[in-house]
Amino acid sequence: MSQNVLLLLLLIPAAMVILAAGLKIIRHPFILIGLAIYAISLDHYGRYLGSFVTVNNTVKVVLIAILLIWMMISNKRIRLPWHLVWFLPYFVFAAVSLLYSPNIDLGFVFISRFVLIWLFAIIIANMIETPRHLIFIFLMMFLSSAIVSMLAHMQTLNAFTLAGVAAFQKIGPDAGGVRAISTFWDSNVMGSYVMVLSIFLIALLSIKSLNRFYRIVVLGVLFISFGAILLSFSRSAWLGLAMSLILFFRFKAMRPQIYLFLAIGLVGIVYLNLMTPYGLELASRFSSIGKLQSDYSGNFRLNLILSGFEIWSNGMNWLWGAGFRAFEVMIMENWYYRTSNDMIFHSATHVSHTLWITLLAEGGILGLGLFVLFLRSVFRELRELLRRNSSGVIRIMIICCWVYMVMKMVNFMFNPNPHDNLFWLVLGLIGALERMTRADPSTDQNDLSAGTA
């Protein structure tokens, strides 16, 4: 009996804490958006009920419920940013193409994911309302990058095993050795996740009000983040980071931060080469970027691209495609004739590693054209945002979104996933930034203004 009383006494304050947290989130729903940034990283360890349900998707469902409650309490209306409205024609086309897709069951699952992640972007566009909300987003990016990167180092260097986080290491045929995965299923996804968060953290250093202590802390996280990107052995993440740094040079006030990050990166490379056993493997992996044609992975991806053209050229597929999510089924009958049997029967993937080829094979000219129109509306919105007279953290976030989107267009050459959570997070942020800056449109302004260094 005493144990039941003790349990009750423990449950009552726990319930009160949960209730208080729930009320806080309902009053300030942007908090849950920040938590969603970390939930994205729980790609492997955030799965339950037989891996069918993920923490990431659970957070999105909760966000939708809170949005409805928030609307009723505050008597607000949902605002639909135009660039997100422009996604709907492609979405409708993809849903209709399921009628003739040979992969209708999986296609329906991914259409449902589109609905969920589109609503996620809508929620961000409506719930992020002030610069303080943007600072909270930066803070969650900082914490998420720190946690994921430290786990990547622990796994790769065998520092120790954390409870619930197995020191699992992935060995690929062309990786040259061990690849860190942290909390993800795949090392490429982990590298890209940390790379994107690093883009935003580099820009964060340009805030004038950031004192020396916080600046040093951010630099420390960037140091371990850069190491995690290297230890992912992800060439697409390396190229994405390099391209982002080049794009930042368009903005004069960002250049000191780039020089600082390059210095940190140089120290990181020296450390990994001299103090770890992975120096030669990293050098080999980096040099393989210029030899993709003779590299197994590069050869395989080239054959996937050529096989995608084979699917596209069949019948009327050139116009309306083979159907949403049809690529992995159709490729079994449409492999490029020079693809080796080893690649066909022993490879772990039958999906294109290039979004543009996937869109062309599954949607034809119509599907690809509708998706390009959607992206055109995104860049038109970004161009208008860059021209407005913004400053401080708002201006920094606009620049980060522009750099990310330009980099992402190239990254889509190596990544076939239009459901990328960070991609839709940025689309939602663009909608929020449009509302924040709408009251003060101005002339062209290509550099950071007041409030930044």
Residue 443 one-letter amino acid: T
CA pseudo-torsion sign 363, 365, 370, 373 = positive
* Distance set, CA 450 to CA 216, 386, 397 (Å): 22, 15, 14
- Give per-residue burial for 350-360: e unless 16+ CB within 10 Å, then b: eebbbbbbbbb
From the list 249, 247, 285, the residue with the least C-alpha distance to 269 is: 285
How far is the C-alpha of 288 from the C-alpha of 296, rounded, in Å? Answer: 10
| Number of Cβ atoms within 10 Å of the Cβ of 73 | 10
The token pair that represents 365 in the structure block: 């000219």
Provide the percentage of residues in the chain whose pLDDT is more than 70: 76
Q: Is residue 9 part of a domain?
A: no
| CB-based contacts of 26-29 (< 8 A; 24+ apart in sequence) | 26/66, 26/69, 26/70, 26/73, 29/63, 29/66, 29/67, 29/70, 29/123, 29/127
Q: Is the pLDDT assigned to residue 178 strictly greater than 80? A: no
45 CB contacts (<8 Å, ≥6 apart)? 164, 165, 183
Q: Is the pLDDT assigned to residue 436 strictly greater than 50? A: yes
- The DSSP symbol for 450 reads T
* Mean pLDDT, rounded, of the chain: 80
Q: Is residue 32 part of a domain?
A: yes
* Distance set, CA 371 to CA 308, 341, 374, 378, 379 (Å): 17, 34, 5, 11, 13
Domains contained in the chain, number = 1
- Per-residue confidence band for 158, with pLDDT thresholds at 50, 70 and 90: low
The dihedrals phi and psi of 165, each to the nearest 5 degrees, come to: -130, 90
Query: With helix as H, strand as E and coil as C, how does 268-304 read?
Result: HHHHHHHHCCCHHHHHHHHHHHHHCCCCHHHHHHHHH
| pLDDT given for residue 207 in this prediction | 83
| pLDDT given for residue 376 in this prediction | 97
39 CB contacts (<8 Å, ≥6 apart)? 46, 55, 56, 58, 59
Q: Is residue 70 part of a domain?
A: yes
pLDDT tens digits, one per residue of 272-314: 777 666 666 676 666 666 555 556 677 778 888 889 999 999 9
In terms of pLDDT, which residue wins out, 166 or 48?
48
Q: Are 225 and 237 in contact (CB under 8 A)?
A: no
| pLDDT given for residue 174 in this prediction | 38
How far is the C-alpha of 403 from the C-alpha of 240, rounded, in Å? Answer: 10
Q: Are 194 and 221 in contact (CB under 8 A)?
A: no
Q: Is residue 35 part of a domain?
A: yes
Q: Is residue 323 part of a domain?
A: no
In terms of pLDDT, which residue wins out, 444 or 214?
214
Q: Is residue 43 part of a domain?
A: yes
149 CB contacts (<8 Å, ≥6 apart)? 182, 194, 221, 224, 225, 227, 228
Q: Is residue 1 part of a domain?
A: no
- Residues 130-159 have a mean pLDDT of 86
From the list 67, 45, 69, the residue with the least C-alpha distance to 56 is: 45
Q: Are 435 and 77 in contact (CB under 8 A)?
A: no
pLDDT tens digits, one per residue of 44-92: 666 666 555 677 777 777 777 777 777 777 777 788 999 999 999 999 9
Structural domain that includes position 68: 23-77
Q: Is residue 236 part of a domain?
A: no
Q: Are 272 and 225 in contact (CB under 8 A)?
A: no
- The DSSP symbol for 219 reads H
pLDDT tens digits, one per residue of 343-365: 766 566 677 889 999 999 999 99
